[in-house]
Amino acid sequence: MRLNFFKASKNATEKRLEIETQKVEGGAEEVSIWDCRFAEISFARLLMNFPSLRVFGFVAVAACLVLSGCRTTKRDFTPHIVRFYLEESDHLPPSHIAEMILPVSGSHITVKSRPVFVESDIGNASLYETEFGPAVILLFRTAATTDFYRTTIANQGKRLVIVINGLPLGAYYISGPVQDGRIMFYLEVPDEELPEIVRSIQKTSDELRKAQSSGW
């Protein structure tokens, strides 16, 4: 049931994008109003599911709008906004935590309401084939690697939930300190969707870094 709901939500978003974009020369998409609405659609779904994230969600929306510029642009990918949430005790006040449910396994994970890392911390995204199936490997940028190392030292035994465009899609178990800034997730999506997800994460991260360096 949860898997069907996830697919329905995702397909609905794709349909909205298809209506509001048009193909231009070279196969790229010309996006006008879509950039701003994409942020609203993605994060509205997250904020409805996790009310305690509302305050921080609006900050995330603002970041997405800075990335998109709310203006006509050409992209051959769908922006993927990535957040990482750290598992936390469910005994904390409701304003400090939120519950996330993975779409296929149905795992319920209580997390801190603030993300500990975001898409601008990602330096590289790639696919890696394992004996258990394809996985996504994310490499944090140099500036975030030290923070990630400290986080893994202090939070061994906890999980780190990856949220992509408002949907919790995987969890990483922190079994020990990670010094190289490399993290591997098994995303709860169909395998055939993984190459495009990885490509879009990389493209989004690259675009955000360019925007930051240009002073947006």
In order, the DSSP letters of the chain are -HHHHHHHHHHHHHHHHHHHEEE-GGG-EEESTHHHHHHHHHHHHHHHH-GGGHHHHHHHHHHHHHHHTTS-EEESS----EEEEEB--TTS-GGGEEEEE-TTT--EEEEESS-SEEGGGEEEEEEEEETTEEEEEEEE-HHHHHHHHHHHHHTTT-EEEEEETTEEEEEEE--S---S-EEEE--SS-GGGHHHHHHHHHHHHHHHHHHHHTT-
Which residues sit opposite 108 in a β-bridge? Answer: 101
Task: Give the domains, in start order, of the chain with CATH numbers.
Answer: 2-213 (3.30.1360.200)
Q: Provide the whole-model pTM.
A: 0.68
pLDDT in tens, 12-56: 333 333 323 333 334 444 333 233 333 433 444 444 344 444 334
pLDDT in tens, 143-182: 899 999 999 999 999 999 999 999 999 999 999 999 999 9
